[in-house]
Amino acid sequence: MEDIKDIIADILKKLSLFSELNAAAIKELAGLAEERIFHKGETIFEESTTGRSILGIVSGEVRITQMAKVSGEETLTVLKKGDFFGEMALLEDLPRSATAIAHSDTFMLEISREKFLRFIEKDPVSGVKILFTLAKILSERLREADIKIKAFVNLSQWI
């Protein structure tokens, strides 16, 4: 019978953030991950609360939103199986920039900032791989945000 740590390791290696890691590093991370279940509509975390962890989606969907003064809740994106979010909490001890809500019943794995930092101290080679992958992903997300901002600015000229 497969150990729960092996099952979690199989899940983690499917997340893009950990795709460059070897089997031993993945297994080590699996021991740090906590299982989390959220039901449709349940808030995972709120904008402006202090971020302390990253979450990877095993099944289900998560809606990332921000509150706008005029229109209320605005959906920024809907994340699916294999995606992760909350990654800025790994890099900085600042409030969350958005709210995360379970868009459907969702099963996730969560790794705290504290455990993650201990992991990269213990295994700096894996830490560099994760942080480099994270930098590429954040760069992609920034490019997407730039496109949306440019479209918004162009649209606002006509209003």
Q: Return per-residue pLDDT of the chain as tens, 159 residues.
A: 467 778 888 888 888 889 899 999 999 999 999 999 999 999 999 999 999 999 999 999 999 998 877 777 888 889 999 888 998 888 888 899 899 999 999 999 999 999 999 999 999 999 999 999 989 988 998 898 888 888 878 877 776
Neighbours of 106 (CB within 10 A): 25
**Is the pTM here over 0.85, yes or no?**
no
Task: Note down the domain range covering 102.
Answer: 4-156
| Total structural domains within the chain | 1
78: CATH = 2.60.120.10
